[in-house]
Structures are given as structure tokens and as C-alpha cells.
Amino acid sequence: MSLLLDVLEKNALITAFVVVALVLWFSNLLAKKLFAGKIHGSAIALVVGLTLAYVGGLFTGGDKGLADITMFSGLGILGGAMFRDFAIVATAYGAELDALKRAGWIGSLSVLVGVVLSFFIGALVAIVAGFEDAVSVTTIGAGTATFIVGPVTGSALGADSSVIALSIAAGLVKSIVVMIGTPLVAKRIGLNDARSAMVFGGLMGTNSGVAAGLAATDPKLVPYGAMTATFYTGVGCLIVPSLLYFLVSLVL
Amino acid sequence: MIIYGVGLLAGCMLIGVYAGDLVGLLFGIDANVGGVGIAMLILMVVSNYGPLKVSIKPITAEGITFWNAMYIPIVIAMAAKQNVFAAISSGWLAICAGFLAVALSFLMIPILVRFSDKTDEKV
């Protein structure tokens, strides 16, 4: 038994291939038999993955979900930013440049609207929760945009580390809600073509949330949503610690 | 050869990410601005348009389409390494902020799409 574990640990990335294949196989089976094809197999797999991540965090106390268990550490490599971005770029092969051009302006606008909207919601919730200083409120608003903008803003403004942790948590919640929520509401909000996918990516901005949410809705939409989402964090890091912090400090 | 496709894809990604870092540097921020998006544009242009176009044989294309097909499995692995435990146990402030931000952003999608419809008609 320990010899087998040893093999799984030494070949962590290969083990991850097997684990993901099993999760997808099981989820596709559930989708077909239990949900009669009404729910996407990849949407179920996503929920299975997130549940496993919760269990991993519960047992190890680490911050990388199931990947903190040595045997499953390959999931951290396979599911890390490097492979994620590599696969996202690959989805662009076969995407239509014309569709991107046509919806380019509304996609860019949606990035701005998305950053500002998420920021102010996070900032308002922070104020309701009793935060009164501009630095903390701005940092929590920044984290609500994405969990990268949060710490970048927090450290630039000199926020307390507990506030930065809170801002990261808000961003995490956002990205998980996008992952699970997108396939559920896609029809009702008209998320079904290149243009709406670009608006979606721009408004949500969380790379992992957008990547997973679109994968579970319609993989054909992935390149369009990913395209705008990839500008979100940069725009956030640009305007949150400067312009939006200035606005918040005027009010508070 | 399949590796030509993989190499082309990898080259596009590196150039794009480098360009994204340069844009970040230009604005004086410690973040990559649109690197992956720039990489996607480069790949689309190189495989489709104009004088830069390289002819991609079917076997070369397989090096790209394989990674395209690996997208969903990678996303599942990504889900399994999220810090879900921290997100759920972070208290109501983070959960409210994250949830409300997503809910209102969802509502904005049809509004922005309709807005672009109206504007396109005028042009």
C-alpha cells in the first residue's frame, strides 16, 4: 500500500490526469443517468471538484484545496495558472476575429463597468459591516473585484493584513459563485453568443470563474469571455488604488 | 509534426504574457494587463490572416487542438485546488460581497447587450 502511495506521489501530475478523468467520467455518467442530460457533465464535475477542494482544505488546513494532499499535488500543477492560460490561448484557435472586432467596444466598456460595479458593492458591504476608514473599505472593494486586485491594492495603501485576507476571501467567493452560477442562469441572461460572452467576461473578470463558468455552459464561448476577462485584473490594479481610492476618501 | 503546433501555441503565449507585463510596467502597476488576451489575438492572426499567416497542416493543428480539448479537464483540476474552505468559512461579509457582486453583474449582462444593440443601429 505504501509502495502504491509512493508511486502516486512521485508521479503527481500523472495521478492528476487519472483523478480528473475519473471525476469527468463519473460526472458525465451522472449527467446522463440522473439528470437526463439537463445539466452539463462539466458543470457537475466542477461542483465535484469544488467539493473535493473543500474536503482538502478541511483536512490539511492549507490553501490549495485537494492539491495540499501530497498524493493529489499534481492537481495544483495541472490546474495552476500556467496550464490554465495555455489551454485558454489554445481555445482561440478557430475563434472568429471578426466577432471580437464587432463586439470589441462593448467588451471594453463592460470591463470598466465590471470593475467599478464590483468595487462599489464590496465597498458598500464593508461600510455596512462597520468599516470606516477609506483604506480598509477600498481594499475590501478591490478584493470583491478579484482576489488579485485586493492584495495589490491593500499593500499599496498599507491596509491591515486581516483586511487583506478578508478582501481575498471576497474575491474567492465571487469566483466560486461565478463557476457554479453561470450555467444555472446562462439562459435567463441571454449568455449564448460571442458578444454576450465578451460582456460576461468583462463584467465578471475573475479568470478562473469565467473559464470554469463558460466551460460548464458552452465551451464555444470560452475564447470570447476569456479575452475580455484577461484585461480586468490589469484595469482593476490601475484604477482601484488610484481613482476609486480617491473617490472613497472623498466620501469617508 | 505535432510539436510544431505545441511550439507555436507556447510561443504565442510567451510573447503575449511578456507584452502584458510590459503594458503593466508602462502604467506602473504590478500586474499583467491582458497578456493572455494578446496571446490569443496573436494566435488568431498568425493562423488566419494577412502576410503573417503561417500554413498549419492538420497534424500541426493537432498540437493546438489537443490543448484546446484539455481545457475542461484543466478547469476541473483548477476547481479542485481552489481555497473553497477559506471562502466558505470567511464569514458573512466576504460571502455577501462576493455573492452580491456576481448577482448584480449577471443582471448587467442583458442591459449592456441591449445597449450595444441600440448603439449599433444608430451607426
Is A144 in contact with B75 (Cβ distance < 8 A)? no
Asked if residue A141 lies in contact with residue A171, where contact means CB atoms within 8 angstroms, the answer is: no
Q: Which of A71, A89, A101, A131 to mutate to test the interface with B (most CBs of B within 10 A)?
A: A89
Q: Give Rg (Cα) of chain A.
A: 19
Asked if residue A48 lies in contact with residue A27, where contact means CB atoms within 8 angstroms, the answer is: yes
Asked if residue A72 and residue A110 are part of one domain, the reply reads no
Q: Tell me the CA distances in angstroms from A80 to A54, A233, B74, B91, B116, one per residue in order.
A: 17, 17, 8, 26, 35
Asked if residue A232 and residue A156 are part of one domain, the reply reads yes
- Taking contacts as CB-CB distances below 8 angstroms, the residues of chain B near A44 are none
In chain A, which residue's Cα lies nearest the Cα of B73? A20
Domain boundary pick from A52, A79, A106? A79
Asked if residue A174 and residue A54 are part of one domain, the reply reads no
Burial of B55 (0-12, 13-18, 19+ CB in 10 A): exposed
Asked if residue A69 and residue A141 are part of one domain, the reply reads no
Asked if residue A103 and residue A75 are part of one domain, the reply reads no
Phi, psi for A193 (deg, rounded to 5)? -145, 180
pLDDT score of B120: 73
Asked if residue A234 and residue A121 are part of one domain, the reply reads yes
Q: How far is A180 from chain B (nearest CA, A)?
A: 11
Asked if residue A52 and residue A131 are part of one domain, the reply reads no
- Taking contacts as CB-CB distances below 8 angstroms, the residues of chain B near A148 are 31
Asked if residue A95 lies in contact with residue A219, where contact means CB atoms within 8 angstroms, the answer is: no
Spatial CA neighbour of B32 closest among A231, A178, A144: A231
Predicted confidence pLDDT, tens digits, chain A (252 residues): 789 999 999 999 999 999 999 999 999 999 999 888 777 888 899 899 999 999 999 999 988 999 999 999 999 999 998 999 999 999 999 888 888 888 889 999 999 999 999 999 999 999 999 999 999 999 999 999 988 899 889 988 999 888 998 999 999 999 999 999 999 999 999 999 999 999 999 999 998 899 999 999 999 999 999 999 989 988 998 899 989 999 999 988
- Taking contacts as CB-CB distances below 8 angstroms, the residues of chain B near A80 are 78, 81
pLDDT score of B52: 66
Domain boundary pick from A21, A46, A79? A79
- Taking contacts as CB-CB distances below 8 angstroms, the residues of chain B near A117 are 101, 104-105, 108
pLDDT confidence tier of residue B39, bands split at 50, 70 and 90: very high
Is A126 in contact with B97 (Cβ distance < 8 A)? yes
| Residue given cell 495603501 in the structure block | A157
Asked if residue A122 and residue A226 are part of one domain, the reply reads yes
Number of domains within chain A = 2
Of residues B86 and A210, more confidently modeled = A210
What residue spans define the domains of chain B?
A: 1-81, 83-123
pLDDT score of B122: 64
Residue among A125, A171, A176 whose CB faces B100 most closely: A125
Asked if residue A28 and residue A110 are part of one domain, the reply reads no
Residue A187's CB is within 10 A of a number of other CB atoms, namely 10
Residue A87 lies in a domain: no
Asked if residue A237 and residue A119 are part of one domain, the reply reads yes
Q: Is some CB atom of chain A closer than 8 A to the CB atom of B14?
A: no
pLDDT score of B54: 75
Of residues B33 and A67, more confidently modeled = A67
ipTM of the complex: 0.89
Q: Calculate mean pLDDT across residues B49-71.
A: 85
Q: Give Rg (Cα) of chain B.
A: 20
A96 vs A101: CA distance, rounded Å: 9
Residue A158 lies in a domain: yes
pLDDT score of A94: 80
Domain carrying residue A177 = 97-251
Residue A86 lies in a domain: no
In this predicted structure, the answer to whether residue B30 has a pLDDT above a threshold of 80 is no
Domain boundary pick from A79, A107, A124? A79
- Taking contacts as CB-CB distances below 8 angstroms, the residues of chain B near A79 are 74-81
Count CB pairs under 8 A between chains A and B: 323
Residue A196 lies in a domain: yes
pLDDT score of A98: 86
In chain B, which residue's Cα lies nearest the Cα of A195? B113
Is B110 in contact with A169 (Cβ distance < 8 A)? no
Is B48 in contact with A97 (Cβ distance < 8 A)? yes
Asked if residue A101 and residue A165 are part of one domain, the reply reads yes
Q: Is some CB atom of chain A closer than 8 A to the CB atom of B12?
A: yes
pLDDT score of B123: 56
Residue among A42, A121, A125 whose CB faces B72 most closely: A42
Residue A234 lies in a domain: yes
Q: Is some CB atom of chain A closer than 8 A to the CB atom of B60?
A: no
Asked if residue A174 and residue A131 are part of one domain, the reply reads yes
